[in-house]
Amino acid sequence: MHVLSDVELEQDGVNPVMHIMIHSTLEAKLADNEPPVTGEVLEGLMAQGLSRHDALHHMGGVLADEIYSVLTEQWPFDATNYEREMRRLLRGW
């Protein structure tokens, strides 16, 4: 059995497995309204003219950064930083 490396998986610089995982995680957070900032930021970004999909991509960057910190620095998930960085997206548009 051949296991694909990260390089073999990437398409146009994007790992499709990670892409789907981030989308799925955000959708679960939205469905559970946990934390509420996730839905607030999605609505805010869409009100500023982003499509839902594009808004999720920007939000996914924040989530991916938090996941990266958890995995590489072995820090617990920082909910305060997640909320702060999500809200920062609203000021960037």
Q: How many domains does the chain have?
A: 1
Tell me the pLDDT tens digit for each residue of 34-47. Answer: 999 999 999 999 99
Which pairs count as long-range contacts for 40-49, CB under 8 Å and 24+ apart, including other chains?
Answer: 41/86, 41/87, 41/89, 41/90, 44/89, 44/90, 45/89, 45/90, 45/93, 48/90, 48/93, 49/93
The verdict on residue 88 lying in a domain is: yes
Residue 38 lies in a domain: no
| pLDDT at residue 2 is higher than 60 | no
Under DSSP, the state recorded for 35 is S
Q: How far apart are CA 53 and CA 57, in angstroms?
A: 6
Residue 82 located in a structural domain = yes
pTM of the model: 0.83
The SS3 call for residue 15 is: coil
pLDDT over 60 at 4, yes or no: no
Per-residue confidence (pLDDT) for residue 18, from 0 to 100: 87
**Does residue 15 fall inside a structural domain?**
no
